[in-house]
Structure 1
Amino acid sequence: MSNESAAIIVPTDISLMVREIKAAYTRYLREFRVPDDHIILVNFSAGKDSTTTATIAHHIFGDRVRSVMADTDNEHDLTIDFARNIHLQIGSNPVEVVKRIYTEAEFSKRRERVIAGWKTKQTIRLGAYRGVVMPSLDRSDTKFGQAWLKTAERWGIEFETALDAALSVLHPSGNSFLDAALLHGQFPQLRNRFCTDELKIQIVYDAVIKPLIDDGEVVVQWSGVRAQESTKRAAYKRFDKDNRDPDFLYNFLPIHQWTAADVFALHKYFGIKPNPLYLQGADRVGCMNCVLCNKQEIAETAARWPEYQERHKEWEQKVRLASRWVHWMSVGTFDQAWMRAMGVKRLGNEKQIYGLEPDIQHIEWSGFYGPRGGMGSPNVDEVVEWAKTGRGGKVYDLVKASLDTEVCSSRYGLCE
């Protein structure tokens, strides 16, 4: 995102823009026949956009407004502290913080499924390994089982089988993000963002919205979604019914057409100091880090807050034990000799699986960041080293390598 200075927006512009939101909201209420005594609920993340949204809502409606934040347990401590104290700046009610707690009963069901599934062979249905019969992970008396024991030695763990290793970590850890990854057997990915679904959207609905609707209340969620952020978000309607309960739940995007400069101008207009992470190189705040964050964000985090890098490394070591695919692919040499005995057809010196040429892998990790820099499944340390390089991932970027973490660094021109 480009560096946008809030100075280009004058205070009178903000006043007009806030009045436009009030007028538009009033029109939508009439159009959708929303009762006057509806509940206004701000989805708060402690970022610049949700802070702006909460400020505008309170400015217009005062103490009628409730703000709710979902803590994923993968947030920066400064973000949680900001959320718990922002009401002192806005003059509003405190932000309600909710969290998805995974229970022992949920892990018990997962263990039952793992025990039943991992004891059996499985035929891969899709991808380059389609048609390959993958072995049981509950035997140590097979060629695969003996080979896996070498994996266990390499990993520094002592279990007879991969199934035993998985069962050892399938218990609540006390951290919601890690528990979600353990239950899914992987970290969130672009096409499987269960972190957002379970740790944010669903918990706010279950803990706050549904009880209100069950009591007969009509709820309008105010969210700080802006069109500038992505093509997908640009296509969102500014006001609409929520499909989860279209008669009682609505969504409103008050700052949908605002820019980042507008957002920080409002902070200045109301005398609100933004989340301090914005003064320390952060482009956006929330998960620290988001599994989908970019190269620059990874480099910044590693330089400024290495303790989060260490935490993610510990999570990787546990989540790989809960991943059936990682156990399968950690065994053998690069050409996966054991696979040829399980169904791989050989044609000359080329390995083929039912007519396909597989991209043979040798996976050691359920990587927190997923595939990066052409690496199949790199661990956190490998991704961080890649993030320090320039385009192409081969030569270190001297700017990234010389980050001064002691001075203000804002991508939005906030440093004085």
Structure 2
Amino acid sequence: MSNAAMIIVPTDIREKVREIEAAYTRYLAEFRIPDDHKIVVNFSAGKDSTTTATVAHHLFGGRVTNVMADNDNEHELTVEFARSIHEQIGCAPVQIVKRVYTDAEFERRRQSLRDRWPQRQAIRMGAYRGVVMPSLARADTKFGQAWQRTAERWGIEFDTPLSAALSVLRPSGNSFLDAALLHGKFPMMRDRFCTDELKIQIAFDAAIKPLLDDGEVVVQWSGVRADESDKRAGYARFASDERDPDYLYNFLPIHQWSAADVFALHKYFGIKPNPLYTQGASRVGCMNCVLSTKEEISETAARWPEHIEKHHAWEKKVRLASRWVHWMSVGTVSQAWMKKFDLPLGRAVQLYGLEPDVQRIEWSGFYGPRGTMGAPSAMDVVEWAKTGRGGKVYDLVKASLDTAVCSSRYGLCE
């Protein structure tokens, strides 16, 4: 008999599920996990978490709990899919949890602004590090008068940036927007507080911590796949969780599966996937994610423009809570221009008739900097997303997108 590893074809779902069961049994023995441990599936209503929930229920039935954290930036079809998926899998309904920000949390933020914004403050990081910015609580200074012209341009009536910020720092009832208001910005690549606060932490607090407090051993099952990114490829398939390493563990059952394998399992068990996958979406969850690609943004703008309008409305509020946007909205001498001539920022200069470039920021943009745009609004980003490489010429394929027909990046249309 050959000792070579068995090659499993993508459609051989029975064998792949047996492999998961065998591997999980080995991990339980290796980590000395009791047989009566609890299983919690991190559910997102996407293809991978649906596959994970299906396998877990197939192997362990009622011992499995599926938990989804709704961050209030999900597409309504995704939330509805999560509410009804138990009817297809045959499991208990998904536990849907949500982070709710209280007025007490907003009051702490308001008090922080009252304490700090009246002060002249030095920028602590980035290209403008060391530059002293003016008070945001005075209307009788040159900056304060310049900002009032900003307020007029924005269509708001406040004397100072501080009063404008305090006006929006109230719970909105939307978790994603409330998180952005409290942080004074939208999530970014290096500061994805949306994932930390609205997904990971709330799911842990609501579903896992109570079990741990009762002395239970818990294994989280997550639908993370290696081919999604280099970072995810480096994850261990089974490991203890540093939050409670003796009682909490993480298992990635489909880590080596492909997208084709995932949809093959859907077909094998007779499960219809999230309908967004037949409406052009390559992934589901946030609609949109702040890190969405050009294609995803243009697809959303064509199919669900109300979500773009929602983000633009959020931008109008979040920029009022952003200290940086207030400072930069009146125009500040460009660091890049000054460095080109090796001159210190703040010095009144004129070289051979050249005036310093002025950088002005109007938005705390939902999508962050895109292309050559410093701080574009959601609407500006949509126009950029419709262009080809270089951002100057419209892409005719995107411009002619037919939203009335089935569109699937995974070959789901018949």
CA distance in 2, matches of 1:297, 1:172: 29
CA distance in 1, matches of 2:219, 2:21: 14
Is 2:397 aligned against 1:399? yes
Shift of 1:133: 1.1
Shift of 1:232: 0.4
Amino acid at match of 2:205: D
Q: Which position in structure 2 is the counterpart of 1:144?
A: 143
1:71-121: per-residue Cα shift (whole Å, max 9, x none)? 000000000000000000000111000000000000000000011110100
Residue 386 of structure 1, aligned match among 381, 384, 387: 384
CA distance in 2, matches of 1:303, 1:69: 28
In the superposition, the TM-score normalised over structure 2's length comes to 0.93
Q: Which position in structure 2 is the counterpart of 1:57?
A: 56
Q: Which position in structure 1 is the counterpart of 2:228?
A: 229
CA RMSD of aligned residues (A): 1.9
Q: Is the 8 A contact 1:147 1:332 kept in 2?
A: no
Residue 349 of structure 1, aligned match among 336, 339, 351: 351
Q: Which position in structure 2 is the counterpart of 1:158?
A: 157
CA distance in 1, matches of 2:36, 2:239: 18
Shift of 1:374: 1.3
Once the two structures are superposed, the pairs formed by residues 284-303 of structure 1 within 5 Å of their partners are 284-303=283-302
1:218-273: per-residue Cα shift (whole Å, max 9, x none)? 10000000000000000000000000000110000000000000000000000000
CA distance in 1, matches of 2:389, 2:352: 33
Tell me which stretches of 4 or more aligned residues in structure 1 moved more than 6 Å: 333-336
Q: Which position in structure 1 is the counterpart of 2:413?
A: 415
CA distance in 1, matches of 2:13, 2:129: 57
Instruction: Give the SS at the match of 2:359.
Output: coil
CA distance in 2, matches of 1:374, 1:313: 20
CA distance in 2, matches of 1:368, 1:320: 10
Shift of 1:332: 3.8
Change (3 A) 1:37 1:147: same
Q: Is the 8 A contact 1:185 1:323 kept in 2?
A: yes
Q: Which position in structure 2 is the counterpart of 1:112?
A: 111
CA distance in 1, matches of 2:294, 2:173: 29
Shift of 1:281: 0.2
CA distance in 1, matches of 2:261, 2:400: 31
CA distance in 2, matches of 1:297, 1:350: 46
In the superposition, the TM-score normalised over structure 1's length comes to 0.93
CA distance in 2, matches of 1:36, 1:318: 51
Change (3 A) 1:350 1:310: farther
Q: Which position in structure 2 is the counterpart of 1:92?
A: 91
Q: Which position in structure 1 is the counterpart of 2:185?
A: 186
CA distance in 2, matches of 1:51, 1:182: 32
Change (3 A) 1:333 1:214: closer
Once the two structures are superposed, the pairs formed by residues 261-280 of structure 1 within 5 Å of their partners are 261-280=260-279
CA distance in 1, matches of 2:372, 2:136: 29
Q: Is the 8 A contact 2:221 2:253 kept in 1?
A: yes
Instruction: Give the SS at the match of 1:345.
Output: coil
Q: Is the 8 A contact 2:10 2:260 kept in 1?
A: no
Q: Is the 8 A contact 2:37 2:218 kept in 1?
A: yes
Instruction: Give the SS at the match of 1:250.
Output: strand
Q: Is the 8 A contact 1:119 1:138 kept in 2?
A: yes
Shift of 1:305: 0.2
Q: Unpaired segments of 5 or more residues in structure 1? A: 1-7, 352-357
Q: Which position in structure 2 is the counterpart of 1:355?
A: none
Shift of 1:129: 1.8
1:297-341: per-residue Cα shift (whole Å, max 9, x none)? 0000000000001100100000000000000000147769xx9xx
Q: Which position in structure 1 is the counterpart of 2:5?
A: none
CA distance in 2, matches of 1:159, 1:390: 41
Q: Is the 8 A contact 1:131 1:343 kept in 2?
A: no
Change (3 A) 1:290 1:381: same
Shift of 1:343: 6.4
Amino acid at match of 2:381: V
Is 2:304 aligned against 1:305? yes
Change (3 A) 1:26 1:329: same
1:128-172: per-residue Cα shift (whole Å, max 9, x none)? 322221000000000000000000000000001000000000010
Shift of 1:123: 1.1
Identity %: 75
Q: Is the 8 A contact 1:69 1:95 kept in 2?
A: yes
Once the two structures are superposed, the pairs formed by residues 60-79 of structure 1 within 5 Å of their partners are 60-79=59-78
CA distance in 2, matches of 1:360, 1:153: 20
Amino acid at match of 2:263: F
CA distance in 2, matches of 1:90, 1:57: 10
